[in-house]
Structure 1
């Protein structure tokens, strides 16, 4: 068999297809492309509408959006625990339910209002109907309701009524440390005390920025307070108010080496869990937010500046035989000795006449300079927001210098007096007070020397003498086993620009143990009455024994060891 070969151009023929493959006609391909294009356009339009709606909502702040957004922010706000130096909880968050409504979903506002009022009769019916009849998307009806109320309203089954879980602040100690810890408002925002200070330190900024919201891992805020000592202080102040029928009392215990506040109380106080009385004028934190003429407590500072300036020595004497008359003013002694007094006797007998002459020896400019150095002429810087500014003489004349020397004509906060006394007994270093933990090294880095160590030694000697010597005005503050020292202050109160003879502010400023003071204690009683008929109502008779009781009960808690008892004698440490 032969094969014929052809030369020349290829001959066109129908192409051969591989088995299993089909070629789509052109018309079909065009239809498929059209359907794909329509689908893409449809999806683009849908997503465009959604994106546009989101942009609209983002740029348009309707009342409902803003209101609900705020509500969500408010209920999410979480606060850190506040604890004392031993880890005892002073303030913490607990979950609580709050009642809200969505008026747009309320079918019958009148019926809904009537049903809700049957469980919550304290809500005004007219106000409740107004809220339920509106066109809002969200309204609060009542914040922080009890579980029983929540269950009762839930059983009503009203459409458009719901509950949100909020954070509520709880204070396990109630009023124990109310003026220090402070309180929050219904939105869990700090409005007083350390609670407000925590917000000012940045917590509110974190919440506003969206951080620390709904978190349970916030670090606790550790205070310098010792809750055990706080209870002792408050309890003794309450007992003193009852015993001496005083209208108010305040006290503080400060670490003399660090400036830490271990306890602070001001009575009457309030319960931050139910702060209905918190804004009453008599619930003021008198220790930092009230200013008072503290009377002879101020003599401590006059003696310190007299020694430190070199104008007065311990063995000097001053004539206290006759009152001092300057114009229409007369300076006299409460229990005058009517003789020349040595410097220690001036302190023991609390002579106004001799103290005024010491102030004149120091000089007006020096006196004012020392008081500024002691931090008594300017507003105290502290962690608490509630701090008052001192009230000073309008003109620093000879009369002003003499009256200021024994605590009249100048009104300061008791806390200022306590911190200045810290410097008088700790070697001469003025420390800023703190309600947070601080080491002695950190404190000394912040401190300022205001008097010499030698002057501090002399002041400790006089403080101790005033209690150890039976003639001293503070002898009733003595505590067996502890060397306590201090100074009394009995000041007539000012009403309508005049001193009132039968209304007094009694104070006792003390420190212990006097060989190397660790703690300063100040107690002030407002308008105390005689404990019994026939005796007076001076600071030595009420404020001094109150300090003694506080030291007796708190010294062991503070780690201050008592001295060995004398042979044959019993030693009472605490009760």
Structure 2
């Protein structure tokens, strides 16, 4: 048998039959040791190569999956980290007190580019502007020609826009998954909820005030407002603005037992999906919240506080009478009543007829120091407690002198926001305990913080006086059958800069219902209304604010579950009766009521 040596690399030829078909012996092949070593090395290299290919293709596949699922792509490291935060930290929903959605977040795709991968910047701009016409071609071209590796093109595309861009097939473009804040109620609660920016940061209202809470919690943030009341408020305020050709209006509804704000509307308003930029002129700025940020001289609605202060001091009794027959002179200024009378008036008449002179005489019994202390007790010397960042500071006199005491007694010389006024009125009528106003729903109404500001007896007296204003005084147009409305009208000249504006006024009404067992405060302010034929040219609180509030109460009463009562029942009349027992000095004469007033043309 002949021995044959082969030197082979990578192949094993040993084995097989020793004999061929003809029975003759086949040559025996023997592989030496060098060939064996080479074969082993070949096997190892093949395994390594196969493993390398497996790992490489696996990595590519993973990238493709990631790109498909998360709209990902090549990004700068900082941008990638930001995108990850956006995807993992979804903002919580905001809902009204009944769970109605006010704000939520939807996943969207945002378009970005790597300019280094754009083959033809001009062609890319031309194609993109055909499907996204809102893009600025000049700015976009400059971005795509830049040396940057990442530029945003458009944030938060709609699904249709994303699909149209995708079909263009432009290299260097990609999508990033983000979130877009959506406000299902639109303008309805814009000043309360506010809005957030493209980076999901709150920029106004509740969105800004609770930015961290909304990012870190999945639980919806439940507000105190009621969408149903918002609809009623907005409708009637818009009607008032249209009818009286006003520049704006504001309105609020508050639960006096809990301090919860059930409704808050300021018009003009805005679409939170596309908020307008702020303007220098706040009177016409849709983002300006007249309820919380605006501060105004409130006119005769302040007589609620002046009268409560006088009665609470013990130095003025309900039956006390004051000489209101002559104007009061301060330096070169003369303070008089809108409709002067030639007789003395008791406290009830002063409040009912809205006498400036009588209000000053009552304040003089207390003094400026006690007046300032009382206003501080009502929370009127500091920012309101509401949970929105848009809050105005009161404008108060310093020093607080006797002349300031006089003008403040009838609502001039001191400016506060409607939020201040509503909170304080609630404390005056609810038994004397002021609860801090809130835009968050109270989870436990039995544990509401509060501060006593007046006695319960003074509170009861003030309810009766406010009811008297509606039944016999300047607010007759606020009366609503079944709801025993009480309140006070207010008309004040508008302050701008260092002086008053000619023929510009604030007309308002602060009401409570039911006055015999107060539950809700309703406030209406109309900014610069103009009289019309129906109002005989009047644009005061009695003609503008009172009827608007009455229309609101008539609609929200049933929604709030307030059981109607007979306003003229003996029980209601007796409960609301005011018995001052005052007798005017002998010889005093009662002035005739002007014809315009007989038709309802009250001062306030």
Which band: TM-score by shorter chain? 0.7 to 0.9
Deviations, residues 461-502 of structure 1 (Å, cap 9, x unaligned): 101111122xx0111100011100000110011234333352
Deviations, residues 385-422 of structure 1 (Å, cap 9, x unaligned): 11110001132111110001111010101110000000
Q: Which residue of 1 aligns with 2:446?
A: 441
* Alignment of structure 1 residues 515-526 onto 2, 5 Å: 515-526=516-527
Tell me whether 1:117 sits opposite 2:129 in the alignment: yes
> Residue 189 of structure 1 is aligned with which of 175, 185, 201?
201
Tell me whether 1:261 sits opposite 2:265 in the alignment: no
Q: Partner of 1:301: helix, strand, or coil? A: helix
Deviations, residues 117-162 of structure 1 (Å, cap 9, x unaligned): 2322332223212322334333211112233322221111111112
Distance 1:331 1:340 in 2: 17
Distance 1:346 1:118 in 2: 70
Distance 1:103 1:415 in 2: 52
Distance 1:565 1:304 in 2: 25
Distance 2:165 2:500 in 1: 59
Q: Which residue of 1 aligns with 2:453?
A: 450
Q: Which residue of 2 aligns with 1:224?
A: 224
Q: Partner of 1:325: helix, strand, or coil? A: strand
Distance 1:172 1:410 in 2: 39
Going from structure 1 to structure 2, the CA distance change for 1:564 and 1:359 (only over 3 Å counts) comes to closer
- Larger deviation, residues 224-233 vs 497-506: 497-506
Q: Partner of 1:303: helix, strand, or coil? A: helix
Q: Offset of 1:559 from its aligned partner?
A: 0.9
Contact 2:83–2:178 at 8 Å: present in 1 too? no
Distance 1:327 1:134 in 2: 71
Contact 2:107–2:179 at 8 Å: present in 1 too? yes
Q: Which residue of 1 aligns with 2:314?
A: 310
> Residue 291 of structure 2 is aligned with which of 287, 298, 307?
287
Q: Which residue of 2 aligns with 1:342?
A: 346
Distance 1:121 1:436 in 2: 42
Distance 2:436 2:415 in 1: 20
Tell me whether 1:160 sits opposite 2:172 in the alignment: yes
Distance 1:109 1:142 in 2: 16
Q: Partner of 1:539: helix, strand, or coil? A: coil
Contact 2:113–2:152 at 8 Å: present in 1 too? yes
User: Could you list the runs of 5+ residues in structure 1 that have no partner in the other structure?
Assistant: 1-27, 44-62, 207-211, 213-217, 568-575
Contact 1:492–1:503 at 8 Å: present in 2 too? yes
Contact 2:83–2:177 at 8 Å: present in 1 too? no
Deviations, residues 1-36 of structure 1 (Å, cap 9, x unaligned): xxxxxxxxxxxxxxxxxxxxxxxxxxx9xx99xx9x
Going from structure 1 to structure 2, the CA distance change for 1:138 and 1:72 (only over 3 Å counts) comes to farther
> Residue 142 of structure 1 is aligned with which of 127, 134, 154?
154
Q: Partner of 2:291: helix, strand, or coil? A: helix
Tell me whether 1:73 sits opposite 2:85 in the alignment: yes
Contact 1:144–1:166 at 8 Å: present in 2 too? yes
> Residue 382 of structure 1 is aligned with which of 380, 386, 391?
386
Q: Partner of 2:468: helix, strand, or coil? A: helix
Q: Which residue of 2 aligns with 1:463?
A: 466
Q: Offset of 1:566 from its aligned partner?
A: 6.8
Distance 1:140 1:75 in 2: 17
Distance 1:360 1:538 in 2: 27
Distance 2:337 2:446 in 1: 43
Distance 2:551 2:275 in 1: 30
Q: Offset of 1:526 from its aligned partner?
A: 0.7
Contact 1:240–1:546 at 8 Å: present in 2 too? yes
> Residue 114 of structure 2 is aligned with which of 102, 111, 129?
102
- Larger deviation, residues 372-381 vs 434-443: 434-443
Q: Which residue of 2 aligns with 1:21?
A: none
Tell me whether 1:497 sits opposite 2:498 in the alignment: yes
Distance 2:125 2:294 in 1: 46
Q: Which residue of 1 aligns with 2:245?
A: 245
Tell me whether 1:527 sits opposite 2:532 in the alignment: no
Distance 2:245 2:142 in 1: 50
User: Could you list the runs of 5+ residues in structure 2 that have no partner in the other structure?
Assistant: 1-36, 53-74, 570-604
* Alignment of structure 1 residues 285-434 onto 2, 5 Å: 285-434=289-438
Give me the TM-score of the superposition, normalised by structure 1.
Answer: 0.83
Contact 1:256–1:426 at 8 Å: present in 2 too? yes
Aligned residues between the structures: 502
How well do the aligned residues superpose, as a CA RMSD in angstroms? 2.6
Contact 2:258–2:435 at 8 Å: present in 1 too? yes
Distance 1:509 1:292 in 2: 14
Q: Which residue of 2 aligns with 1:551?
A: 553
Contact 1:269–1:278 at 8 Å: present in 2 too? no
Deviations, residues 251-302 of structure 1 (Å, cap 9, x unaligned): 0000000000000000001011221366673221010011100111111000
* Alignment of structure 1 residues 28-67 onto 2, 5 Å: 64-67=76-79
Q: Offset of 1:378 from its aligned partner?
A: 1.0
Q: Partner of 1:159: helix, strand, or coil? A: coil
Distance 2:303 2:545 in 1: 17
Give me the TM-score of the superposition, normalised by structure 2.
Answer: 0.79
Q: Offset of 1:114 from its aligned partner?
A: 2.3
Distance 1:229 1:257 in 2: 18
